[in-house]
Amino acid sequence: MDTSSMKFAQLDNVRGNRIRELENELGYAVVALAEETQQAYLSGEKMLRLQAMERELGVTLVAYESASPLQLANPTRDQLQQLEELEKKTGLVLVAYELNCRPHRPLVSERDARPADLSDEQYQRLQAVEAEINLTLMAYEVQK
């Protein structure tokens, strides 16, 4: 998981109570994370293109920055040749991606907490609650 595209989740009472129950069960602090999306800043030209598309489709469009840790790669000539040869061999169309190197900022300071060492059973419980409340959960041992 790329936590640079995650933020602390805003929890309703039901989700908050469910996480507190899980914390008591596991004996660890649990942090709820949600994917962070941000509206994109569009240049004048891009805004005009977006408005034209809105008129064409008859809908309102909102542009968001990608939260994906991947971006299209810009391969060298040699790499491109290797990709083309592999495409010929396999009969597949290949698209090259690379990691989007955004600066990583930890959500929880290592000074205050470190990731919990969960047993298989605890990890399964954590995953079950993740599925139940539809959020990513991270368990931490809180330093005292």
H or E element that contains 111 = none
Q: Which pLDDT score is estimated for 126?
A: 83
Joined together, the tokens standing for residue 88 give 């010929």
Number of domains in the chain: 1
Rounded CA-CA distance 48/70 in Å is 27
Joined together, the tokens standing for residue 16 give 């908050």
Nearest to 28 by CA among 137, 143, 142: 142
Q: Which pLDDT score is estimated for 104?
A: 47
Q: Which pLDDT score is estimated for 3?
A: 41
Q: Which pLDDT score is estimated for 109?
A: 56
In sequence order, what are the beta bridge partners of 35? 6
Rounded CA-CA distance 62/51 in Å is 10
Residue 66 structural domain: 3-142
Joined together, the tokens standing for residue 79 give 């790499």
Q: Which pLDDT score is estimated for 136?
A: 77
pTM of the model: 0.42
Q: Which pLDDT score is estimated for 111?
A: 57
HSE-CB of 66 using CA atoms within 13 angstroms: 9
Q: Which pLDDT score is estimated for 94?
A: 82
> Which residues, other chains included, contact 114 with Cβ-Cβ below 8 Å and sequence gap of 6+?
140, 141, 143
Integer CA distances (angstroms), 114 to 30, 35, 71, 120, 127, in order: 11, 21, 30, 18, 19
Kindly give the confidence (pLDDT) of every residue in the chain, 144 residues in length, as a single tens digit, with 9 standing for 90 and above: 444 466 777 788 888 898 889 888 888 888 887 766 667 778 888 889 888 888 888 888 877 766 656 677 888 899 889 889 888 888 888 878 776 655 445 555 555 667 778 888 888 888 888 888 777 787 877 665
